[in-house]
Amino acid sequence: MSLDVQWIRSHFPSVQNSNTVFLDNPGGTQVTQAVIDAFREYLETANANHGGLFPTSERSDAMVQQARRAFADFLNAPLENEIVFGPNMTTLTFTLSRALSRWLHPGDEIIVTRLDHDANVAPWVALEERGVVVKRVDINPDDCTLNMADFEKQLSEKTRVVAVGLASNAVGTVNPVREIADLAHMAGALVYADAVAYAPHYPLDVQALNVDFLVCSAYKFYGPHLGVLYGKYDLLDRLHAYKVRPAENTPPHKFETGTPSFESIHAAAAAINYLASVGEKFGAEYASAYPQFSGRRLHLKTAMRATQAYEKNLFARLFQGLRELPDLTFYGIANLSRFDYRAPTATFNLRGKTPQAIARALGAQNINVWDGNYYALALMERLDLERTGGAVRIGLAQYNTAAEIDRLLQALHQL
């Protein structure tokens, strides 16, 4: 295990200062002290609106542009002005779907999947009112992987947008997005990728993925509540933005409706710099895999490789412990040799107990887990779980430990 988990935990006040086991991470992680400090720094030194000809406004604008550079590094985007900030991933996706709808005509087709969070489904289904046809790619229910044969069947010369997640927020499945993007582009379609459940665990590279748009959420990787969108600059430039008339007409500003939360943007950059510090400290063994990168981009890639290795081993411990529980049904990839194709998210049910009862009992012991559908509504319907309350979800992060996994497993055995 590459990471020194005690060094990691020392950066998270809420993790250090409580007896809580945070396994609710797919819904949002804890934040570092640097993120907390960044909020205060912004509010004390740069609390002003955009575009003013005075020092606090100039400092504020500089902080925002530094944050764009940080996220361009995190995503390996060619240009910092390909980074758009918004209140959350869902709002950004509705913004882009509405903008893209001006390029669509009745009979044009959009492909979504039954594996995705509804935030990458509903904004596209909303375009049916314009006569667009929405097709849904099915899953293989045995392991909750995307049915690629069905995807290729759905793809046609009428396809204009393919909306797909890099990883399932519900069951952790990692999708072959580069393959999907290549097939979509051959058909003349654009690709909108949801990386919210992927970004906390793996290196991201929008150029290697060959996607047209990609969205993620800073609060899933140790930052504040903030949505982040990457889009190829020429597409962002050509798209019509729904905005007030005095607002700027060029990307990325034309998509940042109203006054953004500048303090959150500055704090999100602190989360990126924290991850870079992890790579600088623990990622040397992975550096040879990224000869094309240097500086912060290299440190970010190696941080996520070190994170991936640590979480994979921790997840194996969790999975093996869950398998020992009687009457447990596990959803998703359950073969240890295939764990490179799933995020460290475990989803299950115990016979005789509702997901809500399990989550409440664990919560009473200060063990945080989620129950329900986590907005992956189509998946829960496909697995016939929605009518019975969904499933229990456990998700790992950098700061989780083997001792916490053992504490969880002991509590589940007692249940």
- Pick from 204, 168, 227: nearest CA to 377: 168
- Indicate the length of the chain as a whole number: 415
What is the C-alpha separation between 200 and 197, in angstroms, rounded? Answer: 7
Tens of pLDDT, residue by residue over 25-53, are 999 999 999 999 999 999 999 999 999 99
Q: According to the model, what pLDDT value does residue 281 have?
A: 96
> CA-CA distances (angstroms) from residue 184 to 154, 175, 215, 309?
11, 14, 18, 31
Strand segments (E) across 87-210: 109-113, 133-137, 139-140, 145-146, 159-165, 190-194
Tens of pLDDT, residue by residue over 232-279, are 999 999 999 999 999 999 999 999 999 999 999 999 999 999 999 999
Q: According to the model, what pLDDT value does residue 340 have?
A: 85
Q: According to the model, what pLDDT value does residue 336 have?
A: 82
Tens of pLDDT, residue by residue over 277-302, are 999 999 999 999 999 999 999 999 99
Q: According to the model, what pLDDT value does residue 339 have?
A: 85
Residue numbers of the chain with a pLDDT score lower than 70: 1
Q: According to the model, what pLDDT value does residue 401 have?
A: 98
> CA-CA distances (angstroms) from residue 361 to 161, 227, 348, 357, 368?
43, 32, 15, 6, 10
Domains of the chain, start order: 5-32+297-414 (3.90.1150.10), 36-272 (3.40.640.10)
Residue 157 structure tokens: 């010369």
Q: According to the model, what pLDDT value does residue 338 have?
A: 87
Q: According to the model, what pLDDT value does residue 178 have?
A: 98
What is the C-alpha separation between 43 and 222, in angstroms, rounded? Answer: 20
What is the C-alpha separation between 344 and 400, in angstroms, rounded? Answer: 11
Name the pTM for this structure.
0.97
What is the C-alpha separation between 82 and 80, in angstroms, rounded? Answer: 5
Handedness of CA 351, 354, 355, 358 (dihedral sign): negative
The torsion angles phi and psi of 238, rounded to 5 degrees, stand at -85, -25
CA atoms within 13 A on the CB side of 279: 27
Strand segments (E) across 209-324: 213-217, 227-231
What is the C-alpha separation between 208 and 198, in angstroms, rounded? Answer: 15
**Burial tier of 17 (Cβ tally within 10 Å: 0-12, 13-18, 19+):** exposed
Q: According to the model, what pLDDT value does residue 381 have?
A: 98
**DSSP summary character for residue 119:** G
- Pick from 264, 367, 395: nearest CA to 21: 367
